[in-house]
Amino acid sequence: MAQQIHSSSSSRSIPDDPLKPGTFQSLLPLIDDILGILHSQATGEERLTTAQASEGVAIKAKQLASAIEMMKLASINLPGGHLSIEELKVISERLDEESEKRLQILNAFKDRQMPLIDSLATAHNIGEEEVGSTMPSPTGQS
């Protein structure tokens, strides 16, 4: 379906960068304008004729539809934007499962007794202290 949207919308101007500021905008001002026109036609002091209200609403409705379409196309161009909500949920669940497995592996290593590693680490730390205390100074004096 995303393929169909891409091919059918290729003639429209799609923002190159879907994360560019202004790509996603609030639709409330357009909706407010439409409701304002309808309200002023019904109750305003300067009552609009039906033709004026229809023309005003039609213009704003086209702007609203265009804004929605542009945001829809931009959202498809986002990384992973072609995936459905269900597919995103499946991917998220798999990533959570993989994360849990890796945490279990790390915890298993943390809890495992490794005497050889412990003795090497201890010897290494002791060796550094002894080497440091018995090493001659650069001037040749200890």
Q: Is the whole model's pTM more than 0.85, yes or no?
A: no
Distance (Å, whole) CA 133 – CA 127: 10
How much is the CA Rg of the chain, to the nearest whole Å? Answer: 34
Place of tokens 């891409």: 6
What pLDDT, on the 0 to 100 scale, is given for residue 135? 53
CB atoms within 10 A of CB 111: 7
Q: Give tens-digit pLDDT for 27-72.
A: 999 999 999 998 888 887 777 788 888 999 999 999 999 999 999 8
In the prediction, which pLDDT does 138 show?
Answer: 59
Averaged pLDDT, 83-107: 94
Predicted local distance difference test score (pLDDT) of residue 1? 38
Q: What is the pLDDT of residue 97?
A: 97
Asked whether residue 12 carries a pLDDT value surpassing 50, the answer given is no
Of all residues in the chain, the percent with pLDDT exceeding 90 is 33
Where does residue 132 rank: exposed (0-12), middle (13-18), buried (19+ CB within 10 A)? Answer: exposed
Is the pLDDT assigned to residue 25 strictly greater than 90? no
Residue 65 has which token pair?
């539809």
Nearest CA-CA partner of 94 in 78, 102, 107: 102
Q: Which amino acid is at 7?
A: S
Which pLDDT score, from 0 to 100, does residue 15 have? 52
